[in-house]
Amino acid sequence: MNRRDLQALADRELEKQQKYRCRLLCCGSTPCLSSGGTAVQEKLKEILKQNKELKADLAVVSTGCMGPCSRGPLVTVQVQGQDDVIYENVTPEIAEEIVKKHATGEETSPTLDEKILPNDIPFFTKQTKVVLANSGLIDPERLEDYVAHGGYSALGHVLREMTPEEVCQEIINSGLRGRGGAGYPAGLKWNLVRKAQADKKYVVANGDEGDPGAYMDRTLMESDPHRVLEGMAIAGYAVGAEQGFIYVRGEYPIAAKRLEKAIRMAERRGLLGGRVMESNFSFRIDIRIGAGAFVCGEETALMASIMGKRGQPVPRPPYPAQSGLWNSPTLLNNVETFGSIAPIINHGADWYASIGTEKSKGTKIFALAGQVENTGLIEVPMGIPLREIVFDIGGGIPNGRSFKAAQTGGPSGGCIPAEHLDTPVDYESLRALGSIMGSGGLVVMDDTTSMPDVAKFFMEFCMDESCGKCVPCRVGTVQLHRILERITAGTASRADLEILEELCVMMKETSLCGLGQSAPNPLLSTLKFFRDEYEALIQDKPAHINGNGRFKLPTPPAQSTQEVQ
């Protein structure tokens, strides 16, 4: 398939879609499916089956995520010449009413309009869709739908009109930074791999997000898999790689299934595989499924897992750009990073760089969760104030409670208190507060939340997910968690609090990888901004210190003979 064939395919698909008078777009992402979306889609298909006359006028399409996940199942109605109408909390019965109103013109229940979700509310108007531009609008399991929305045109452009060096420079000029958490300039990393001398190079997409409450990568892979594939293919051309891998979290079966199907369709159309789009460039992509280890989100552990080894980190340097998979130069980016590539190529680096702040360009996807009215997936420009996310897009705190803190960056991030609500959400501003951007988890907490309990929760998570390779992380997380248990139980001393802070510094400075180095972040940030909550739980009891002045864990109670048996 060449660029002319691609355009012809897009024209045919658009013509086909325009023949329908009404299209019902049903959210087929995990949150909506888990709340009854499957039954809604089955009901609509049953209606079409029973009324064959509707087939010419009505199309039922399963799409990706539409955003407001807490309001699912969601159905968007598209009627020629009219604005889209979004229905929330749709049941099979409501789905039948929707068909009557928009397709057959029959009389419907007067309460149906109460299910309409206005598309001019801040949740939608405050967003800037770049990576998620197709999400909720296309069928992720049909390549033709992606192509009709401009898919693979960026790949065709770079193969025919740009050199690998020009592609890398375009990404550099855009200011795109890796969306996996570290925020390293993507273009610089691409250039390093491009310049590396080797017979074999690889491109890897990290889809192994494991932060509690985060599901940005899962949604992108479920909703627009071809966008990730296209970004990877452009990266392969730019750095000189012919093989790519997508590492998908084991708990994401729908994402893995849709990616696998997308790869097969792209290969059949000549958009992946040998001689891509009738050029001299070949690029193949394979999927690797993770086993649920949080540490495999770290790049060296992820690559070890791909190669069939135990997923444990190794010291750097050498970095993957120098020696990665099978000792070959490897470009490793988060799937959201690859999802940003096609828009940059299509619209230009200057366009992308005009969004966001001076040092944090473009948009960022967040999974907005916690104690906020509107939970779901959002994409906002970098630098947007946290207050706008929580109170405009999120709709504020429910039940009349007040905002207390927002957790960004998951177990590696920190808590931002109410006095910093006007902080711009960008890499530099969050780092200054002791937090990080992370992969995009954003958990909102109200004034009923105990911050020591929050720190204990994240420390327990890190303790369970530690691979155990290095002592500071393996032992440090256990000790920190035990101290936090005593604090939250009201049995700790002030010396325990001092030891807590010393252990945090030790872990940050001596742990092998990012898991151990960042595990103390939620604890340190809550100590910084909510120290009074810790001190209120501290009792003036003798410290748990032995004769040598070293920390001593309390002796666990002996098990009874009956318990052992």
Same domain, 206 and 332: yes
Q: Of 352, 370, 393, which residue is a domain's last?
A: 352
Cis (ω within 30 of 0) for the bond into 212? Answer: no
Same domain, 105 and 157: no
Are 275 and 236 spatial neighbours (Cβ–Cβ below 8 Å)? no
* Nearest by Cα to 147 from 313, 293, 9, 308: 9
Q: Which two tokens stand for residue 158?
A: 């770079």
Same domain, 505 and 489: yes
Tell me the pLDDT of the chain averaged across its residues.
92
Residue 557, domain member (yes or no) = no
Q: How many domains does the chain have?
A: 4
Are 28 and 63 spatial neighbours (Cβ–Cβ below 8 Å)? yes
The domain in which residue 292 lies consists of 150-352
Check residue 241 and give its pLDDT. Answer: 98
How many C-beta atoms surround the C-beta of residue 286 within 10 A?
A: 11
Same domain, 473 and 440: no
Check residue 528 and give its pLDDT. Answer: 94
pLDDT(510) > 50: yes
Percent of the chain topping pLDDT 70: 95
Q: Could you tell me the CA-to-CA distances from 354 to 175, 350, 360, 388, 484 in Å, in that order?
A: 10, 6, 10, 20, 45
Strand partners, 75: 26, 87
Same domain, 108 and 211: no
How many C-beta atoms surround the C-beta of residue 3 within 10 A?
A: 17
Q: What is the CATH number of the domain that holds 266?
A: 3.40.50.11540
Same domain, 236 and 272: yes
d(CA 291, CA 301): 12
Average pLDDT score over residue span 317-330: 96
Average pLDDT score over residue span 456-476: 94
Contacts of 217 (CB under 8 A, 6+ apart): 206, 207, 208, 209, 249, 334, 335, 336, 439
Q: Which two tokens stand for residue 5?
A: 């064939």
Q: Of 434, 449, 464, which residue is a domain's last?
A: 449
Same domain, 321 and 267: yes
Same domain, 497 and 418: no
d(CA 236, CA 190): 9
Q: What is the CATH number of the domain that holds 441?
A: 3.10.20.600
Q: Collapsing DSSP states into helix, strand and coil, what is residue 340?
A: coil
Residue 53, domain member (yes or no) = yes
Render pLDDT for 369-393 as a digit per residue (tens, 0 to 9). 999 999 999 999 999 999 999 999 9
What is the band of 541 on the pLDDT scale with cuts at 50, 70, 90?
A: low
pTM of this structure: 0.93
Same domain, 444 and 476: no
d(CA 214, CA 455): 17
Same domain, 389 and 518: no
Q: What is the CATH number of the domain that holds 495?
A: 1.20.1440.230
Same domain, 336 and 390: no
At 58, the amino acid letter reads L
Quick one: DSSP state of residue 555? P
* Nearest by Cα to 352 from 130, 55, 30: 130
Same domain, 23 and 102: yes
Render pLDDT for 332-361 as a digit per residue (tens, 0 to 9). 999 999 999 999 999 999 999 999 999 999
Quick one: DSSP state of residue 185? B
Angle at 31 (CA atoms; ends 25, 36), nearest 5 degrees: 70
Render pLDDT for 98-113 as a digit per residue (tens, 0 to 9). 999 998 888 888 889 9
